[in-house]
Structure 1
């Protein structure tokens, strides 16, 4: 029998802060008059559906439509929340002027790690890569430090190594990540989740 971690994504209550994982993965936060909107572009329909579910869970119940999936001109999927006052604080923490930044001392929760994995995670040659925002290189090292604070040491890799991404290597680190993010969505391909 496998013992579940007290920190597993399934044991945490959903929160707007879960969507910080999407910002780590290359998502965007935009302030609006009604609050803020979080969005991310992904290639795979299963990723968009799983992210949509997380977005809906992260915002208070009772909204007629908390999030939606659109198709871009390039045929990719854009998952985005409706503007919400609950997202204003998160958006402000991740912006410095027009530039994206990692909040000082940020440590990803299990649900934020799950969101990051859903948006930009993939297994490659026995490692696991969590994609980084190619347009926000200033966030790469701070995100690696944030993962270290969460107990998962990583290596930042560039485009030549399949990135930009952070690479999780080693049985114990992969197991810790998998324990935190829980099970993959049923329609996710095997290489979308950390190897067991």
Structure 2
């Protein structure tokens, strides 16, 4: 596999689709879309009036896709090999300062929409027969111990499901060339823990970045992985998924998580509609797809 970040230009004509209000085509790409990465395992730090986002991914194709997506948003990116994959990170830039300010606020941030709002009711609006439960549901199924000795947290009342090893053991390579940049001293970085702002929401562009960084296809579903240390984010992120028609089942750290699993034909088709066409670098089996 070539490790030069590829172009996302399509190789041939694709199917004609109706544009989704929340899909990738609904608006131009912007740095604000990186909120989708922060919904997953990415981290953001501040330095003065600038900020930098970084995320560790497990295989090389994710590096290709993320570098291309960041470039579409006017953001320079670098990458380096790590012990468990590859770290992709932006340069420090003022373009990410508003995103950092909203996610690293020191003040209390509401966990989500108040009860009775359309967003809070969205989890029950989908009549799909899939197995995904809504993030605030009382039913729970299956959990396991955290194999690395840490305690796997969960959103209160969130569904649990699933167990077993992750079948994606693809070996990613390090991108060609020296993509590394020297970071500032650790003391210059803001240690404030990330948390979604009260206005946090998901759309196709944000979901596309999340899928590229931490989405894993399964035989009967699709997992969107979360940051292992980001428990304050999990419940709000689950509600945001439900609000765009993707009520999902929460998986504990010992059950292939922490992650949200999207199940059911309608919901998987909805996910595929939202995130758009598969990037050239992504494997067919690694990207959401609608019904054949």
- Common fold, TM-score beyond 0.5? yes
Please, what TM-score do these two structures have when normalized by structure 1?
Answer: 0.89
Please, what TM-score do these two structures have when normalized by structure 2?
Answer: 0.61
Matching residue within 223, 230, 255 for 1:129? 223
Residues 41 and 55, structure 2, Cα contact 8 Å, conserved in 1:
yes
Partner in structure 1 of residue 89 of structure 2: 80
Query: How far apart are the structure 2 equivalents of 1:173 and 1:105?
Result: 24
Residues 40 and 79, structure 1, Cα contact 8 Å, conserved in 2:
yes
Whichever of the two has the greater Rg, that structure is 2
The CA deviation at 1:160 is: 3.0
The CA deviation at 1:148 is: 1.2
Higher normalized strand content (fraction of residues)? 1
Q: Work out whether 1:8 is the aligned partner of 2:35.
A: no
Residues 123 and 195, structure 1, Cα contact 8 Å, conserved in 2:
no
Give the SS at the match of 1:106.
coil
Query: How far apart are the structure 2 equivalents of 1:8 and 1:109?
Result: 6
Query: How far apart are the structure 2 equivalents of 1:193 and 1:130?
Result: 11
The CA deviation at 1:77 is: 1.1
1:93-142 CA-to-partner distances (Å, cap 9, x unmatched) read 11144221111131112111000000000111311100001011121111
Greater Cα offset, 13-22 or 154-163 = 154-163
Give the SS at the match of 2:254.
helix
Give the SS at the match of 2:261.
strand
Residues 19 and 25, structure 2, Cα contact 8 Å, conserved in 1:
no
Residues 27 and 38, structure 1, Cα contact 8 Å, conserved in 2:
yes
Query: How far apart are the structure 1 equivalents of 2:69 and 2:103?
Result: 19
Matching residue within 200, 208, 214 for 1:120? 214
CA RMSD of aligned residues (A): 1.7
Give the SS at the match of 1:47.
helix
Give the SS at the match of 2:80.
strand
The CA deviation at 1:171 is: 0.9
Partner in structure 2 of residue 50 of structure 1: 65
The CA deviation at 1:32 is: 1.3
Runs of 4 or more consecutive aligned structure 1 residues displaced over 3 Å after TM superposition:
none
Residues 42 and 76, structure 1, Cα contact 8 Å, conserved in 2:
yes
Give the SS at the match of 2:273.
helix
Partner in structure 2 of residue 26 of structure 1: 41
After superposition, residues 43-192 of structure 1 pair within 5 angstroms as 43-59=58-74, 66-72=76-82, 74=83, 76-97=85-106, 98-192=192-286
Residues 65 and 282, structure 2, Cα contact 8 Å, conserved in 1:
no
